Amino acid sequence: MLRSQLTDALKKAVLAKDACSVTTVRLILAALKERDIAARGEGNTDGISDDDIVILLQAMVKQRRESIEMYTKGNRPELAEQEASEIAVIETFLPKQLSDEEIEDAVRGAVSDLGATCLKDMGRTMAVLREQYSGTMDFGKAGGVAKKLLG
């Protein structure tokens, strides 16, 4: 599903002569092909799953955010802009992320469902959240909210 969206997006970007989108989607497809080859070595002939593709895309966004930070510190705004435009293209393929309020509500729900009361329960809380909200939640923010509620 996600694989076909990526190839369709590449075709559309080439036809629209959108250089940034073409480059970014090609980078995604190259990383995807690399992961598929690695998966073949483990006996998986179908390639990686959509969930793994989402994880790959999230990692790519994270890398670019870190690059933006470094370029901004290094006074290279043109490179930071390029990274930001790549993030915009990559995020079109990611599921909608939960807002801060939705994250807080989800953490509160997980804490109450588990009956968590102290920081020792944070691991169980985060495990439940990862199971339910994989790909749609920023777990860094969720961890901060959980620590505040349990601490």
Give the per-residue pLDDT at 27.
Answer: 96
> Is the pLDDT at 26 greater than 80, yes or no?
yes
Domain boundary among 91, 114, 129: 91
> Is the pLDDT at 139 greater than 90, yes or no?
no
The two structure tokens encoding residue 90: 């990559």
pTM of the model: 0.76
> Which amino acid is located at 5 in the chain?
Q
State whether 134 and 65 are in the same domain: no
Question: What's the domain range around 41?
Answer: 2-91
Q: Cα–Cα distance between 20 and 87 in angstroms, integer? A: 11
Give the per-residue pLDDT at 72.
Answer: 95
State whether 66 and 121 are in the same domain: no
State whether 107 and 145 are in the same domain: yes
Helix (H) or strand (E) holding 110: helix 100-114
State whether 108 and 71 are in the same domain: no
Q: How confident is the model at residue 150 (pLDDT cuts 50, 70, 90)?
A: confident
Kindly report the backbone phi and psi dihedral angles of residue 98, in degrees, each rounded to the nearest multiple of 5, phi listed first: -70, 145
CATH code: domain of residue 110: 1.10.10.410
State whether 114 and 85 are in the same domain: no
pLDDT tens, position by position, 39-86: 888 887 788 888 889 889 989 999 999 999 999 999 999 999 999 999
Q: Cα–Cα distance between 15 and 7 in angstroms, integer? A: 13
State whether 73 and 106 are in the same domain: no
CATH code: domain of residue 57: 1.10.1510.10
Give the per-residue pLDDT at 135.
Answer: 76
State whether 50 and 85 are in the same domain: yes
Q: What letters, b where the CB count within 10 A reaches 16 and e where it falls short, cover 104-126?
A: bebbeebbeeeebeeeebbeebb
Domain boundary among 91, 126, 142: 91
Domain count, the chain: 2
Residues with Cβ within 8 Å of 81's Cβ and at least 6 positions away in sequence, in order, are none
Q: How confident is the model at residue 121 (pLDDT cuts 50, 70, 90)?
A: confident
Give the per-residue pLDDT at 133.
Answer: 86
State whether 7 and 68 are in the same domain: yes
Q: Cα–Cα distance between 47 and 53 in angstroms, integer? A: 10
The two structure tokens encoding residue 65: 């955010």
The answer to whether 89 touches 21, Cβ cutoff 8 Å, is yes
State whether 85 and 107 are in the same domain: no
